[in-house]
Each structure stands twice: as structure tokens, then as C-alpha cells.
Amino acid sequence: MKSLNYKVRLTAVAEKFSLEFLYKPQNINEIYVSRADLSRPGLPLAGFFKHFENERIQLIGNMETGYLEGLTPDERYSAIEKLLQHHIVALVVTTNLPAFPELIELAKTYNTPVLRTAETTSAFTAALSSYLNVELAERITTHGVMVEVYGEGILILGDSGIGKSETAIELVKRGHRFIADDAVVIKKVSAITLLGSAPESIKHYIELRGIGIVDVKRIFGVGAVKDTEKIDLVIKFENWVPGKDYERIGLNTESEDILGIAVPAITIPVKPGRNLAVIIEIAAMNHRQKKMGYDTAMEFMKRLEELDTGEEDTNVLSWH
């Protein structure tokens, strides 16, 4: 697993949000955005630059425009120049507001991209922040399989050849959705949320030993695949070890640490005859119930305590 720092081209941001370039520097393809948080430079335009961060995209909305309109031309020129002297990554004018001539003139002087959107400042801030949080998220790539089962994002881990891909195909045949095989890109998009997806080069493809590469989207249709999904549960396959004490009731909870987030996890022993696809379906439904406030294992133990019928009934735990 390897974590990297990521950035996104400013031109990609402009294309994604249909932004109009009011001034496009010649080196526009060399300009990258590396911060997901945005700024409204009200205080910097007033001359206060303590803690100012020029890596953030700066937004000019109604408030900033109103402030600049109240200045004399010389004062406005000076305020904008002080801002652009800090070599900001880009400046976006929102709400289709007109750009001050001083802004365009100084943008050319300091080689600062200036763009415009018809969206309001609040709406654009929310949309752009969400997009950048995903594109710039801390991430790792891990060996595994990712599927969506009953709305739950399931990351399946285990040794090569243990049956992860075959189980994923069986789940797709049962109406669930395939996300990634072999390599799963995991992005930390918030302090509590991980998203899983496939690398672009192998998206929608799965490898089945003895057959080769299979295009899941073409064989099963567009409804059988999904580009990304939140990771709700980690399921770890391991070869059945005779004599090992596997979880029987479900009271003991496991977790898998991924990028500093503890994700609920369970270990499934694998041996001939076990229908892993059905087991994963039950695990997904059981996990969904837990999130909704119903824990089957806890309710089962409460029932035993309430019955309290003596030693004979305690043998119920010796099923199978």
C-alpha cells in the first residue's frame, strides 16, 4: 500500500464546472490545484494577509465586489495588486459578476488565471469543495476486490487464488454491482469516509483464472457495475484452519485500519462447499441492520439471559 500527494490541473476544474476564462495564462496547462479548501479574500483585499494561503482558489462574490466598488480606482487597483502579488493559484468570479478592468490588467501582469461561473458563491463553493476533496484525497491502492451488496460497499481481501474474483462474479449474477478487481484505489474523502474505485486502466474488468480477462460491463450490462462506492465493511477471506476458534455468535467486533479510519471487518474461513456469495449477502444485510440499530448477536444473548432455563439450553451454542 502506498499513499501519495495528488493534484489536479486547473484546466480540468474549469472543464468540469464549465468555467469561463476571463484571463488564461500561456502556461495554463502547468497550473495545478493542490488544496481542496477555498477562500473568499475579503480580509486580504482590505490589506490583512496574516495566515493567507495562496494555494487556495480565491472566490470573488457579491460581498467582495461590493467592497471593491466602494473604493476609488487607485484604491481598487492597489487592493487587487496586493492580492495578486501573493501569486495565487487562480481567482474565480461567481454569479456572472462583471470583472473589474483592474483585475484583468493585473492578472496579465502577475500571470494569474481568472475564471467566471454563473453559479452563486455558496453553491459553487459546495460543489467545488466536494469535487476537490475526492480528487485530492489521500489514497492508497490495495490488492482486493470491491463490490456493492444491498447498498453496502464491501472490500474483499485475501490471498491470491482464494476466490475473491469468482465470488464477485457470483454476486454480480445475483444482482449486485461490481466496482474493482485485483487493485482497489481507496480515497480518504473525509475524517470518517473512504471511497473505493478501480484504476482507470482496469475499470469494469475482472480476471478469472482459467478464462482470462472479462469485461463485466459488456457481459452483464451497465447496471452491473459502479465506478465508486463508500467502503462500509471489510471481509477477509482466509483458508479454513482446522481447530481454529472462528467467531460463532458475532459479539466480538473486528476492524481494519485504512488510512487512519477503523472500518468494521469480519473474517470468513474458506473451504470447499461454502457458498461465499451467499455469506457475503448475509454479512451485508447484517451489517446494514447494525447501522440501523439492531444487533442480532446482542439480541440473541439478551434472549438467552431472559429465558435462563438452565444448563440444558446453554447447549444451544453447540450448533453444528
Residues annotated as catalytic (active site), given as ranges: 143, 164, 182, 248
**How many other C-beta atoms lie within 10 A of the C-beta of residue 99?**
17
CA dihedral 185, 187, 193, 197 (to 10 degrees): -30
The set of cell numbers assigned to 75 is 484604491
CA dist., res. 160 & res. 141, Å (int): 16
| Identity of the amino acid at 9 | R
- Partners of 140 in the β-ladder: 186
The set of cell numbers assigned to 189 is 474523502
In sign, the C-alpha dihedral spanning 150, 156, 162, 164 is positive
| Identity of the amino acid at 219 | I
Do strands 228-230 and 194-197 pair parallel, antiparallel, or not at all (unpaired)?
A: antiparallel
DSSP class of residue 29 equals G
CA dist., res. 314 & res. 308, Å (int): 9
Q: Are 209 and 161 in contact (CB under 8 A)?
A: yes
